Amino acid sequence: MDKITVWIQSYASTEFHYNTYIVSELGKLLLLMGALIALVGVALIVAGRFHLPLGRLPGDLTWRGKNTVVYFPLGTSILLSILLSLILFVISRFRK
């Protein structure tokens, strides 16, 4: 037999098994990410109802052209970065 035939026979005889631990952990991760996205959505809805000025802070840049609008929320990004850093810092302190 030539090498290709031996390789095809050995490849066809192998069985692939899913690692159930990895699959279950992936499922948990997907559920966690879905819950996180849902929480962010609820937070945005609440922020809209209370008329919080997210997106209209000083430092948010807007350029209006003839047919286009370019918007870069720099101030909002910095504020959210600081808030998330503080929240994650507090959570990491409680996990120890």
Q: Judge whether residue 7 has pLDDT over 80.
A: no
d(CA 76, CA 88): 18
- Please report, for the chain, the start and end positions of each structural domain, with discontinuous segments joined by +: 20-51, 53-96
List pLDDT tens digits, range 8-34.
555 555 555 567 778 888 899 999 999
Q: What is the pLDDT of residue 49?
A: 87
The pLDDT confidence band at residue 67, using thresholds 50, 70 and 90, is very high
Q: What is the pLDDT of residue 94?
A: 86
Contacts of residue 78, defined as CB under 8 A and 6 or more positions apart, other chains included, come to 59
Residue 62 · residue 73 · CB < 8 Å = no
d(CA 77, CA 54): 9
d(CA 1, CA 10): 13
Q: Judge whether residue 39 has pLDDT over 80.
A: yes
